[in-house]
Structure 1
């Protein structure tokens, strides 16, 4: 093997130019895979420095991961609602050897403003005073809270509110403001001002009351005794505590302290899951096709090797060794660009507001190692597949094929192409049966499968297409006729050049317009689903509490006010006997009078029955579960609690409201906050008066805002658009790699024809005629790519738009489509014509003798 590697290394060194294209594809693929891996690892491990828990040796929290008994390790979901710990857990931990003190911590969403002020309250984080020792905080003025009407403020919070010890301050919790007396101010003992969240400290009793779950802590902070072994102590806690818990140490405690860190890690996991797999498939596809093109251009070399006595096994080993060495070089070279690309993506996500600006990327060794390994395996496998034919055929036939490539496709390639075509068509039909994210995901998968089918069946597909499209070229006596003849005879070469262009057009158009279709469907369904006149929403004080909700319902002229809480629900199901989890967006609603504020487009059943232990499901979601009205559905709520609910209705407008709708009594006690908004319906003729009265009410409840239905549905559309932008940021990484692949492949394919251009010059063609011929070939190339790429995108997009919007024409400006065509055509033309002009600089006599 060392001899083969030595020969392969000498070949790479002696023929650098021949391997540049493959090296670029490998480097780019490694960079894309490394960046995807960094996003995935960051979603699993990234954190920021803790603040209020900075002084804690360990922080114990309930396990926020939902798992199913008997399921494999991949079946797990992060619970969106907080899971609390019994107060007895803190006592158990406090009694362990090595623990100096275990402190239970309540978390309360609170907003602060000075009493009598009309300014918007500033958000803060409320806790019991005992938890101040976890930072630790030290009093700078005043005393600790002694009664439920006392609070200690972080000095920065007090300064921003303009209050001091002895002053009164309004604290807004669940939209209702209540006066408290500032008994003291405190600062962290470290002397640093916390940058993320200001703290407000109540008595333990008041903090428990305001949290809504007195006697159950959100977390337990552990202060270890001097000299304790922290790792051993963490193990003891995990063993001794009866509840399933996770013990956090160091910066990992920020995952418990800051909700946005956990949510942002979820976004990174979602992006990595959505686009990481797609990036991996595309990178592997590009690498394999580029290596196949590189090997195909060396047919003459392999034919000569076979003619002088090389065995098929020797050819295969040589190609494998070359692919191994080249992929190692390219894969390692792509690691640093991959890290830089991941950091660029983090900055873009932070700019969109979906991850905190201070959340760093986890730059560990696993992503680059996995990227290099995947690149090496793909390169070697792709090289071996491409080398099978030149290695197996007899020397005489090999020499003949080096001049005239075979017209027929191998049977395996035809079969694989037809399979991808069928799978792509099947995936394109997914939105007809499934709404929401799953249906949209089927559209992207369909486009990719259809591109692979085009790549596999390219010579067959293009032979007929070239015959038709090249008819106008034959009217030209020289250049056009030659361009048509070259294209028809070089179907394999044309297929290799067309494939990346089809990928660029088809995949880009599909992904861009599918985002537009989903956003338009969300807004349209939201407009139909919400029939209330006004929406009263909370601005960040923990939701619309009962006091504020009752006040809204008591406003003269209000016919109905439906409270709405947003959460996520999980439904266990079985795949070939293996347990799995389906994830549903869900809304909890007050059931009485629901038809006056919401129209979900009921398909079966009656929403009037949505009370008690009941549930309503979006119609396609119910179909996926095989559930019908009247059936029992077992669900896991947002905090992991199990409920068995009776399905009472199915409906259409799930994208505009939620995929699952539950009575408020089912989700109460399983939410981290109060309902997020109220849907308000005014009595006939009272809309203007109700709007004015609600505006007055907001002055008494500073945590509330009032908007009309149009503003609310526009906000739903804006939220869907933000999701689309997040997806497009992840997509941009893939598109940039596809653009590189387009240029790389076309330059390789064109540069490999230098001897052909020299022969044309020697038989009498002028340089201008050769350039004109290649210009017409390039125009034919981009025309075919535009037709095939449009066909690849049109099928899945048409189905998606018909299913979601009721029209075959997808939402979005046509300028995006023409822009993609223009950019791709420009890349194609430049990538063909520039190498042609460079090749024509050499004298024909010199160029005709160069090595392939």
Structure 2
């Protein structure tokens, strides 16, 4: 059998070329994924940045720690507080006896023509990075600043939300922030509260001085916890691993798909060959072993090649993900060996999985049946294929129904709407032989009734060659279905979020701090982040160094509230924490607002209760909470860690996951007003009110401007991940189309020669071949649209159950682009072999060759 397998590989190399390339690329990507994961696991621990040379950093209480019990085992759950505590004055007094104390203050700065991520600090903290002045001098007065980087120079004036300032010095950027340093006095005015400070004293003395007090003493590498977003490396690597994990899963899935369809078509082509082997005495088991051995040989060669490609490709990809900001600057590929083993053996497994069904079918071939059916494409749908296809389709339906009944929000999670299409794609692909013939005849019905025989020949050829049509349509189905399902899911979720915001926002104007247009949250709670579905509402956030957002100052708020002819609702961002089932400490984003004004300026999606019932002893929750009945009492921890029992005044629907909770300002200590909604009274002039709002301070947006500015979009990691997944799918589609068309070309020589004998010109033959290719692509496209429709219908049903009534968004431009690309590939790789055969004279009518 080994001799037969080697002979088949040598003589039928074109048959196995597509499988070899597909497996090689799949193993290469798996190698890259494994090397990336291994490198991220071996990532160095981030060292302190802002306080690299500080002796000791003392932070106020910024962690909520709650005891939990799981199976009798008592532990503690911790979460970062939304509003960290300042270091108590009594503690500061003790520390001053030990040495110099330098308060740290961090606050956002917005300036015209400047980077958007400016952070303000007092100049005295610059020495701990350390920052050293390269041009100019240190700031001395309230209108002088020193900035990092080279985007401005000494002598320039900057118009900021804190007034016009003059740049008197610059320091080199250290990469982790774009800072603006004010004098210590001016920084204290802009950010009165200091949640952390530097103590120039011995660490042991500091610990003894603050023993028993609610502060954190940071020394050594722990000082990184005082840096801005200290866990950004871990979060970036986690997102990157999720991206490559998804790509690896799709690669394995599509690889099996391509290999299986290639071997199935190859076995169908070789029925005469297998029949002759059976006639010569080969047993069914020997035939199966021969086919499996061929796949094993191809798998070994392809896996080895893929590992080599992965070794060269991983560093290039690492450089790319660093360039686009998906990985930290220090990220490089290590020298781990296990990713190569994982990729190699996975490649072999994929090859064997892809050939199992084909080998079984090959072994069932009898000599007489093979010789009788060698020229007839019949029996393409086997009983096993029908059973598996129907079973997968039933599984998809049952799991969808269970999800809709038990947890509709699960269908909005990224991991769900990425994986569910694969189940449906496999089911539809297995059932393709049943669907191909009627669908082909339907699509070709009109061309077949036009004058001439071309349309009729296209219809009959495509519908008669079921195996060939199904083999070509399968990769098109994968690409179109993935494109429609993934991009359609994100577009539908974005539209649902936009619909929620539109229905919830009834104010005529929205005022935000100057320079913050479109950046404040739109839903009244958490912003529009990545598509996590309802789980995003009850998620947790990674701890990070506090950056105070001063929001509106008191004078501006007084001016806004005194404008005649308006109802003003000033709200602030906060959080509450609840312990569910005694085991999970959950953070929910919250908005603090006065109930009367909130009822006039917003339309909350209430399922029960009234906004007007909200008071200092109550809370508005959503249906995702464990307790969500009006009148019930819930124990919560407020944004500053204060524990309090609140009565449920009203309950909101779950929605897409942005319906957080509402409390009064008394239950959001430390929160700053960052949004003001304004509703006009009857008869008020909008133009006059808008002018008064601008004079009062802040950036004024109409309702429509506010909605446009906050139109939700797909986050960058998700976008890159989907582009990678769809790129892989399109690449495999090209490989599969090229391979299948080239394999089919030899079988079609006789058919096309008959057309030439019947009087068809070379151009007519090529047009016929191209038209057949387009018809088959159309079949795959329709099947892909069917899968897309089923997936998005499930998502639409979930949104309806979550009380979100938004339309389904099908990405028609992207679907048109990928279908067009598939059509071009199919036409090129079908017409090119036919043109070559015509050119070589293989299809010339008898008597015309020289």
Q: Distance in 1 between matches of 2:110 and 2:456?
A: 79
Q: Distance in 2 between matches of 1:450 and 1:705?
A: 48
Matched with 1:235 is none
Q: Deviations over 1:269-311 (max 9, x none)?
A: 45763x5454333312221122123333443366667754674
Q: Deviations over 1:676-714 (max 9, x none)?
A: 32223454444544433332232xxxxx32323222221
Say whether residues 1:826 and 2:797 are aligned partners: no
Say whether residues 1:707 and 2:714 are aligned partners: no
Say whether residues 1:327 and 2:303 are aligned partners: yes
Pairwise CA distance, 1:379: 1.8
Q: Distance in 1 between matches of 2:81 and 2:8?
A: 56
**Pair 54,133 (structure 1): closer, same or farther in 2 beyond 3 Å:** closer
Question: Pick from 522, 529, 542: which aligns with 2:504?
Answer: 529
Say whether residues 1:740 and 2:731 are aligned partners: yes
Q: Distance in 2 between matches of 1:50 and 1:780?
A: 62
Counterparts of 1:104-503 in structure 2, within 5 Å, are 106-109=104-107, 111=109, 123-127=118-122, 129=124, 132-135=127-130, 154=146, 196-200=177-181, 214=194, 216-217=195-196, 249=221, 257-259=227-229, 262=231, 266=235, 269-270=238-239, 273=242, 276-299=244-267, 300=270, 307-308=281-282, 311=286, 312=288, 316=292, 319-334=295-310, 336-337=312-313, 340=316, 343-344=319-320, 359=329, 362-364=332-334, 369=340, 372=343, 375-376=346-347, 378-386=349-357, 388-390=359-361, 392-393=363-364, 396=367, 407=379, 409=381, 412-425=384-397, 434=408, 438=412, 445-469=419-443, 483-503=458-478
Question: CA contact under 8 A between 1:528 and 1:599: conserved in structure 2?
Answer: yes
Question: Pick from 722, 732, 739: which aligns with 1:731?
Answer: 722
Pairwise CA distance, 1:606: 1.6
Q: Deviations over 1:694-737 (max 9, x none)?
A: 32232xxxxx32323222221111xx13x267644432222222
Q: Distance in 2 between matches of 1:79 and 1:219?
A: 21
3-state secondary structure, aligned to 1:561: strand
Matched with 2:522 is none
Matched with 2:532 is none
Q: Distance in 1 between matches of 2:587 and 2:40?
A: 19
Question: Pick from 578, 589, 593: which aligns with 2:593?
Answer: 589
Matched with 1:600 is 604
Q: Distance in 2 between matches of 1:195 and 1:317?
A: 55
Pairwise CA distance, 1:827: 3.3
**Pair 668,458 (structure 1): closer, same or farther in 2 beyond 3 Å:** farther
Question: Pick from 533, 551, 557: which aligns with 2:558?
Answer: 551
Q: Distance in 2 between matches of 1:359 and 1:154?
A: 25
Q: Distance in 2 between matches of 1:221 and 1:840?
A: 87
Pairwise CA distance, 1:43: 8.5
Pairwise CA distance, 1:519: 3.1
Deviates more, 1:751-760 or 1:632-641: 632-641
Pairwise CA distance, 1:485: 4.6
Say whether residues 1:628 and 2:635 are aligned partners: no
3-state secondary structure, aligned to 1:752: helix
**Pair 141,268 (structure 1): closer, same or farther in 2 beyond 3 Å:** closer
Q: Distance in 1 between matches of 2:815 and 2:767?
A: 28
Q: Deviations over 1:585-615 (max 9, x none)?
A: 5434344521122111322112223334644
User: What are the ranges of 5 or more consecutive residues in structure 2 without an aligned counterpart?
Assistant: 205-211, 517-547, 845-850
User: What are the ranges of 5 or more consecutive residues in structure 1 without an aligned counterpart?
Assistant: 95-99, 226-239, 699-703, 847-852
Question: CA contact under 8 A between 1:757 and 1:770: conserved in structure 2?
Answer: no
Question: CA contact under 8 A between 1:37 and 1:272: conserved in structure 2?
Answer: no
Question: Pick from 9, 17, 21: which aligns with 1:20?
Answer: 17
Q: Distance in 1 between matches of 2:843 and 2:138?
A: 96
Pairwise CA distance, 1:796: 3.4
TM-score w.r.t. length of structure 2: 0.72
Q: Distance in 1 between matches of 2:715 and 2:18?
A: 33
Q: Distance in 1 between matches of 2:147 and 2:383?
A: 76
Pairwise CA distance, 1:501: 1.0
Q: Deviations over 1:404-434 (max 9, x none)?
A: 6772645554344234323444676768974
Q: Distance in 1 between matches of 2:15 and 2:750?
A: 20
RMSD: 5.8
3-state secondary structure, aligned to 2:178: coil
Q: Distance in 1 between matches of 2:389 and 2:63?
A: 44
3-state secondary structure, aligned to 1:753: helix
Q: Distance in 2 between matches of 1:487 and 1:255?
A: 65
Question: CA contact under 8 A between 1:417 and 1:452: conserved in structure 2?
Answer: yes
Q: Distance in 2 between matches of 1:570 and 1:397?
A: 74
Deviates more, 1:13-22 or 1:48-57: 48-57
3-state secondary structure, aligned to 1:198: strand
Pairwise CA distance, 1:461: 2.2
Deviates more, 1:782-791 or 1:518-527: 518-527
Matched with 1:561 is 568
Pairwise CA distance, 1:502: 1.6
Question: CA contact under 8 A between 2:749 and 2:842: conserved in structure 1?
Answer: yes
Matched with 2:479 is 504
